[in-house]
Structure 1
Amino acid sequence: MARRFRGSEEVKVDAKGRVSIPAKFRRVFEASDPDWVNGRRPQLVIVYGTRDWKHLQLFTIEAMDEIDAGISRMPRGSAERNLLENIYHGHAEETDIDGDGRLVLPQKLREKIGLVDGAFFISAGDSLKVWTPEAYAEEERRLEELVPDFEPGADPLSLLNAAGAGAAAPMAGGGD
């Protein structure tokens, strides 16, 4: 299994659209690029999605290979395959991280999400989402509205049981 991204970081964006990729994130891109060796630039794929996306999504090469394999298994010509091909092939850019640990975000992508002088990276397992700090704050408020009401002390991992992921039984509330 490929390494996963963990955490979040806010970084500066320079006038040329360069952002420094924090070392902890660069290591995941390196480990998840089968062609990467020390001294080479780790590859990744930027997906900018449909009109309503307010973020960019940076996928590792291994993650994009899994997505491509899944799309290839879908029936040709199906609406679902066409949609996924449009998003993950047509609205995507292959790129790399330069020798200084920076990623150059093309102007059209910066304009699409309104990125000017600051970027917020948030981990999403095998990808990183890139938001403006303001747009992410709005997204976080929206996500908080989706969180179910837990009893005090309840374990949020209990949501995995509802998804059929086979996690441990939910912990009972409070009790302290």
Structure 2
Amino acid sequence: MARRFRGSEEVKVDAKGRVSIPAKFRRVFESCDPSWEAGKRPQLVIVFGTRDWKHLHLFTMEAMDEIDTKISQLGRGSAERNLLENIYHGHAEEAEIDNDGRLVLPQKLREKVGLTESAFFIAAGDSLKVWSPANYEEEERRLETLVPDFEPGADPLSLLASAQKDEG
């Protein structure tokens, strides 16, 4: 099983659109890039998605390979495959982390998600999401409404019980 991202971090965005990838996140990109070795730059895929996306989604190479495999298993020409190819191939760019641990985010992507002076990284398992801090605050409020019958103060792990039912 591939390593997972854990945690969150806010970092500065410089005038050239460079963001420093925190070391804990760089290690995951390195370990999940089959062609990476010491001295090389780890590769990743930036998915910027459809018009309504307010974040960038950074995938490890292993995670992207898994997504690509699943997309290719869908019927050629199906609506589902066309949508997923559009998002994960057409609205995506390959990138690399430089030797100083930075990632250059192209201006069009920064503008799309509102990144100016800082970026907020939050782990999403085998990927990272990159938000403007303001957009993330809005998203966090939205997420809190997704499980309407979740009681305040309840243990969030109780939500996993429904996952176990689905497997059985």
TM-score range, shorter chain: over 0.9
Identify if the C-alpha distance between structure 1 residues 17 and 152 changes in structure 2 by more than 3 Å, giving closer, same or farther.
Answer: closer
CA RMSD of aligned residues (A): 1.6
Residue 147 of structure 1, CA deviation: 3.7
Q: Does 1:139 pair with 2:147?
A: no
What is the aligned partner in structure 2 of residue 174 from structure 1? none
Q: Which one-letter code corresponds to 1:11 in the other structure?
A: V
Asked if the contact 1:160/1:166 (under 8 Å) is kept, the reply is: no
Cα distance in 2, alignment partners of residues 152 and 19 from structure 1: 36
| 1:32 aligns to 2:32 (yes or no) | yes
The code of the aligned residue for 1:23 comes to A
Larger Rg: 1
1:44 paired residue number: 44
Answer 1 or 2: higher relative contact order, Cα 8 Å, separation at least 6.
2
Q: Cα 1:152–1:113, aligned 2, differ >3 Å: closer, same or farther?
A: closer
* 4+ runs deviating over 6 angstroms: none
Deviation at 1:152, TM superposition (A): 7.0
**What does residue 125 of structure 1 align with?**
125
Per the normalisation by structure 2, the TM-score is 0.94
1:91 matched to 2:69? The reply is no
Distance 1:135 1:165 in 2: 34
Q: Distance in 2 between matches of 1:36 and 1:23?
A: 16
Q: Does 1:110 align with 2:110?
A: yes
- Return closer, same or farther for 1:152/1:9 CA change in 2, 3 Å cut-off: closer
User: Equivalent pairs: percent with the same residue?
Assistant: 80
Compute the TM-score of the two structures, normalised by the length of structure 1: 0.90
Residue of structure 2 equivalent to 1:173: none
Structure 2 runs not aligned, ≥5 long: none
SS of aligned partner of 2:110: helix
* Aligned AA (2:43): Q
CA–CA distance in structure 2, aligned partners of residues 165 and 67 of structure 1: 25
- Partner of 1:86, secondary structure, is helix
Name whichever of 107-116 and 58-67 sits farther off: 107-116
User: For residues 60-97 of structure 1, what are the alpha-carbon distances to aligned partners after superposition, in whole Å with 9 as ceiling and x for unaligned?
Assistant: 00000000000010000000000000000000000100
